[in-house]
Amino acid sequence: MRVLMLSKACIVGIYQRKLEYIAQQGVDLLVLVPPSWQDERGEQTLERVYTEGYRLQETPIHMNGNFHFHFYPHLGDYMSEFRPDIVHIDEEAYNVATWHALFLANMTATKTLFFSWQNIKRNYPPPFSWGERWVMKHVDYALVGTDSAGEVLQQKGYQGRLATIPQFGTDEHLFQPQPLRTDRPFTIGYIGRLVEEKGVDLLLMAAARLSGDWRVRIVGSGPLRAELDALTHELGIADRVIFIDWVASTDMPQQYEAIDVLVLPSLTRPNWKEQFGRVIVEAMATARPVIGSDSGAIRGVIGSGGLVFPEGDVAALTEHLHTLQTKADLRLILGDIGRKRVLEHFTHERIAAATVKVYHEICQSDSTLNPK
């Protein structure tokens, strides 16, 4: 079985581990990625980390940084050369990249699937609404990151085959449990984009209410960096907060080792709510307890591996922080539960196996694969 995957997300090195596991299950895999991707954090360049057993091919991208309009001009050349049985479009149904790939695949009767995180029913203006409906009518399969994303697709009229599989898992070998540290102040961590909907300002306000010796460690970048820095001075906690620019994906385990709890205080907005919260899974893999708001998918991802508070409730977040600050035994218990939850549900190997199962299901409806 030959699968061509189109994925800008796979420029992240640690995500590529899933691709190796897919290839290990007998899939001849070609993954097309751009040289880089631009967003509010800056420009993320391609990391080549896990590349055994499949082909990771860099290809030019047009409209880099434009989520809706970007596409890959040489995709047709790779499809003609590789002649895949399945085109795995790792993009939403309302993107030009998805339309382009699906059109090319349909020209050769190649099986297709796309991926969606969209967990809010949003009605897009033309041409995006037209393209979205066309994709849902002509694609062979849909993958969604959460059940709520699947419900949104069905509300929009999708009637085809569908499976809930997170886009990527976590490498349990890279993200290993870290021992509890007692030789430093209680350290609260945030890792992610510095944007309004992530609620980092609420974390700073909650931390400012704590007593005792504590620190906040913020890893990431984004348009709110200067504003958050100013807030630490307004709250009188600038000497307790450290900002660290975004680091390479393979260096992330050290960031979790440096904290005692990870907080994801996301805020639901009319056009967004937390779609998964990958840093939660990474933290749990390192046996770090997590605290998350109840925005979107967070509660379902955390399960019993951490604490959840009503989004926007600074007092409730402060209470959870105080609880973990003063109860080291609870940090150990939650860390152990979280690690076990990751091993059971969120490893790259499990995600890859579920994805390959979908590939086989797609091909069962057409027993004649493309000849080599």
Query: In total, how many domains does the chain have?
Result: 2
**Is the domain of 145 the same as that of 281?**
no
Q: Determine the pLDDT at residue 180.
A: 81
In degrees and rounded to multiples of 5, residue 306 shows phi and psi of -175, -165
Determine the pLDDT at residue 107. Answer: 96
Separation CA 50–CA 14 (nearest Å): 7
Tell me the residue range of the domain where 33 lies: 2-169+347-364
DSSP assignment of 279-340, as one string?
HHHHHHHTT--EEEESSTTHHHHHTTSEEEE-TT-HHHHHHHHHHHHH-HHHHHHHHHHHHH
Would you say residue 372 lies in a domain?
A: no
42 backbone φψ class: left, alpha, beta (φ>0; ψ -120 to 50): left
CA-CA distance, 117 to 137, in Å (whole number)? 18
CATH of the domain at 204: 3.40.50.2000
What pLDDT sits at residue 370?
Answer: 40
Cα–Cα distance, 144 to 43 (Å, whole number): 26
Question: Does any domain span residue 190?
Answer: yes
Spatial contact of 39 and 120, defined as CB atoms under 8 Å apart: no
The residues, any chain, with a CB within 8 Å of residue 343's CB and separated by 6 or more, are 172
Amino acid at 302: I
Domain identity same for 191 and 340? yes
* Same structural domain, 89 and 107: yes
- Strands 186-191 and 241-244: what pairing? unpaired
Q: DSSP readout, 227-283?
A: HHHHHHHHTT-GGGEEEE----GGGHHHHHHT-SEEEE----BTTB-----HHHHHH
User: Two tokens at 291?
Assistant: 């605290």
What one-letter code names the amino acid at 352?
A
Give yes or no: residues 115 and 190 share one domain.
no
Same domain, 354 and 291: no
Chunked mean pLDDT (size 10), the chain, 372 residues: 97 96 98 94 92 98 95 98 98 97 97 96 92 96 96 96 95 92 93 96 98 97 96 98 92 95 96 93 97 96 96 98 97 97 96 98 67 35
Q: Give the predicted TM-score (pTM) of the model.
A: 0.91
Let me know whether 255 and 265 are in one domain: yes
**Is 177 inside any structural domain?**
no
